[in-house]
Chain A
Amino acid sequence: MLAAIKQALAIAAINLGSLRNRLGASSVIVVGIAGVVGVITAMLAMAEGFQQTLEGAGRTDQVVLLSTGSSDEMSSGITRDVVDIITSLPDIARDAENTPLASPEVYVVSNVPKRTTDTDANMPVRGVTLAAPELREDFAIIEGRMFQSGRNEMIVGRSAVEQFKGLDMGSVLSARGSQWTVVGIFSTGGNVYESEAWVDATVAQTAFRRGNVFQSIRLRLEHEDAFDEFIAALETDRRVQVNAMRETDYFTKQSQALSATIRGFGFAIGLIMAIGAIFGALNTMYSAVSARKVDIATLRALGFGSFPVVTSILLESLILALAGGILGGLGMYFILNGYTISTLNNATFSQVVFDFMVTPELLLSGIVIALLLGLIGGLLPALRAARVPIAVAFRDF
């Protein structure tokens, strides 16, 4: 066995030595597999980045409440009186003035032109109270100031400013028939809220003709372990028809549907390209093998066994595939990693801004995919080279 491996390495070294003469044909494998790995890596990096953006947000001791039957803020509605009942429940943390840390929020989307394409896209506009910033851990005004209660003033998230036109400091935005002056820019530590614009909740309810209805409530519990007790308390009051979940779970859910779609899409395209790449690799390796049919037959005539011949050919296609995998993965890493894009969050029909995340795990799985393709592409030609009788190989060259 050891001898067979040594033989295989010796033949592989010879084959690779002749690779220089077959650069054109061999690059078909490298480029084809780099393409497959690149596409899959890009799509997975997108899903990864999206997921991390949404999952990055949230605390386990905070609760998001939507009306029963709603899984997102778009379709949710909670009236003022229900809000009052909920915020008076025990287990809710309180601030220095002993008011409950709870933030009922209005949520609408507004059409705003995107900077890149100049076409309208949905930007979420969130009507909040002064409790809202407290419930976003990393909230900070990075330019200008907070909006004043009772005024048509707006603060916009850092990503929203990058993504949409007309949100610069001091500009006046027309949203759903009302005018808003941008007075500040905020950040929330890179999470999804940075893609939003925030206004005063009461002003929003009037401007957007929402009556006294909110879309969601966020609140902080005294302790994360108080969650079950809080839920039990909620359920005792039959006027309260809400769906409460930990904030962390809420974001995970929000991200799952879209990242699954992106992943599925990535694998579908990847699969089609992979089939192409396999045929490319098969073709290249078949011609590589047939070009060296006499060399291979000669080696076998000299006493080299079939196993080393097969292994050496496999080794060659694996090395080419590995090169393709590394090229595709690293290529995507340098092109895409950290590259910011926005996409439609189909749960809320609003834009979510996120970065591509080309993680080491993704690079590794890209290389595994590449090696698999190389193995498939090399195996049949290798077996053929080893099976054809020596005498036949010499006869018809």
Chain B
Amino acid sequence: MNQPIATLTDVKKSYRNGRHKVDVLSDLNLEVKQGEFLALMGPSGSGKSTLLNLLGGMDKPTAGAVEVAGKRIDKMNQTQLAGWRANHIGVVFQFYNLLPVLSAQKNVELPLLLHKMSAAERRKRAATVLEIVDLTDRAGHRPAELSGGQQQRVAIARALVTDPMLLICDEPTGDLDRSTADEIMGLLETLNREYGKTIIMVTHDPKAAEHATHILYLDKGRLSTEAAA
């Protein structure tokens, strides 16, 4: 239960914006243990998404080490990273990012195209996760025919279908109303408690953060357990 699954050591991330250099993260250290549900909060522009992208292997640090499940992913090249993401990470976005031309079922099957398995096996797995998110009856619908909350549940199913060791969610309820947000948070909490999924979630919503097991605040490039006053 308390093995570290993700470790950031002295991580620095800066962007070059023309001639200006913006230091978003500096000397940042973080350890996330297996089975944790971490909520990451902080003001807009503080670097939460940047941090999440580093953990998910979608971006690389300027300096420092990013170790996930014993692998130094900051040392991988783009191709290795893509393969690694396919095998180990599930991503949930604020705006769901479902492919509009595919049905819910096909959207969920999508990541499985990167795995060796038969079409029948893909269908079966997708159906299983759609059942977990309680959308079996909407499997044939396209995203445009689903509500925001339903779309986000499809997106969560898509993130789960490969059984990743780490689920990263960037403001998963940011586009949803209160009750729908609660529903989604309830689902994430279930995934964490009952299915043992490690989740790192960025959110602005304190009520959403309450569902997490830990909360960290990011401000001016530093992490703390206390919200800045």
A residues with a Cβ closer than 8 A to B are 3, 6-7, 10, 14, 17-18, 21, 294-295, 297-307, 389-391, 394-395
The answer to whether B113 and A17 have CB atoms under 8 Å apart is no
What chain A residues lie within 8 Å of B93 (beta carbons)?
Answer: 298, 394
Report the nearest A residue to B54, measured CB to CB: A391
Could you list 21 A-B pairs, sorted by A, with CB under 8 Å? A3-B114, A7-B113, A18-B100, A21-B101, A294-B97, A295-B99, A298-B99, A301-B91, A301-B97, A302-B85, A302-B86, A302-B110, A303-B83, A303-B84, A305-B83, A389-B58, A389-B59, A390-B58, A390-B59, A391-B59, A394-B49
The CA-CA distance from A306 to B83 in the complex, in Å, is 11
A304 touching B97, Cβ below 8 Å: no
6 nearest A-B residue pairs (beta carbon): A303-B86, A303-B85, A298-B97, A18-B101, A305-B82, A390-B58
Give the number of chain B interface residues (Cβ < 8 Å): 28
Residue interface bits B83-112, CB-to-A below 8 A is 1, else 0: 111110101010101011110000000110
Q: How far is the CB of B68 from chain A (nearest CB, A)?
A: 14
CB of A235 to closest CB in B, whole Å: 74
Q: Which residues of A contact B180 (CB under 8 A)?
A: none
Are A390 and B100 in contact, CB atoms less than 8 angstroms apart?
A: no
Q: How distant is A120 from chain B, measured CB to nearest CB, in Å?
A: 62
Any chain A CB within 8 A of the CB of B79?
A: yes
Beyond A14-B99, A301-B58, 14 additional pairs, beta carbon < 8 A = A3-B114, A17-B101, A294-B97, A298-B97, A298-B99, A301-B91, A301-B97, A302-B158, A303-B82, A303-B85, A303-B89, A304-B86, A306-B79, A391-B50
Instruction: Return the chain A residue nearest B99 by Cβ.
Output: A295
Q: Is residue B56 contacting chain A, with contact meaning CB distance below 8 A?
A: yes
CB neighbours (8 Å) of B100 from chain A are 18, 295
By beta carbon, the residue of chain B nearest A298 is B97
Q: How far is the CA of A299 from the CA of B101 in the complex (A)?
A: 13
Distance to closest chain B CB from A386 (angstroms): 9
Q: Which residues of B contact A389 (CB under 8 A)?
A: 58-59
Q: Which residues of B contact A301 (CB under 8 A)?
A: 56, 58, 85, 91, 97
Chain B facing A: main interface SS = helix
User: CA of A10 to CA of B99 in the docked complex: distance in angstroms?
Assistant: 13
Query: How far is it, in angstroms, between the C-alpha of A10 and the C-alpha of B59 when the chains are bound?
Result: 25
Of B58, B78, B99, B102, the contact of A306 (CB 8 Å cutoff)? B78
Instruction: Judge whether B136 is part of the interface by a CB distance below 8 angstroms.
Output: no
Compute how far the CA of A305 lies from the CA of B85 in the bound complex, rounded to whole angstroms. Answer: 10
Which among A6, A302, A306, A389 has the greatest number of chain B C-beta atoms within 10 A? A302
Measured CB to CB, the closest approach of chain A to B200, in angstroms, equals: 15
Verify if B53 is at the interface (C-beta below 8 Å from A): yes
Residues of chain B within 8 A of A17, CB atoms compared: 101-102
**Chain B residue at smallest Cβ distance from A307:** B79
Distance in Å: Cβ of A388 to nearest Cβ of chain B? 12
By a CB distance below 8 angstroms, the chain A residues around B58 are: 301, 389-391
**Which of chain A's residues have a CB closer than 8 A to the CB of B82?**
300, 303-306
List B contacts of A302 (CB < 8 A).
Answer: 85-86, 91, 110-111, 114, 158
Interface residues of B in 40-54 (CB under 8 A from A): 49-50, 53
CB distance from A365 to the nearest CB of B (A): 35
Which A residues lie within 8 Å of B56 (CB)? 301
0/1 interface trace, chain B 114-147, chain A, CB 8 Å (1 if under):
1000000000000000000000000000000000
Q: Find chain B residues with CB under 8 A from A10 CB.
A: 113
Residues of A within 8 A of B110 (CB): 299, 302
Nearest B-chain residue to A295, judged by Cβ: B99
Docked CA distance A306–B85 (Å): 13
Check A391 against B53 for contact (C-beta < 8 Å).
yes
For B158, the chain A residues whose CB sits under 8 A away are 302
Question: What's the least CB distance linking A53 to chain B, in Å?
Answer: 52
Find chain B residues with CB under 8 A from A395 CB. 49
Q: Which residue of A lies closest to B82 (CB)?
A: A305
Task: Name B56's closest neighbour in chain A (CB-CB).
Answer: A301
A3 to B83, CA, bound (A): 11
Nearest A residue to B89 by beta-carbon distance? A303
The residue of chain B having its C-beta at the shortest distance from the C-beta of A392 within the complex is: B59
Q: Given A14-B102, A18-B101, A391-B49: A305 and B113 within 8 A (CB)?
A: no
A303/B114 in contact, CB under 8 A: yes
* Alpha-carbon distance between A18 and B100 when the two chains are bound, in angstroms: 8
In the complex, chain B residues 153-180 whose Cβ is within 8 Å of any chain A Cβ: 158
Interfacial chain A residues near B83, Cβ < 8 Å: 303, 305
Q: How far is the CA of A156 from the CA of B85 in the complex (A)?
A: 81
Residue of A nearest to B113 (CB): A10
Q: Given A294-B97, A303-B87, A394-B93: A7 and B114 within 8 A (CB)?
A: yes
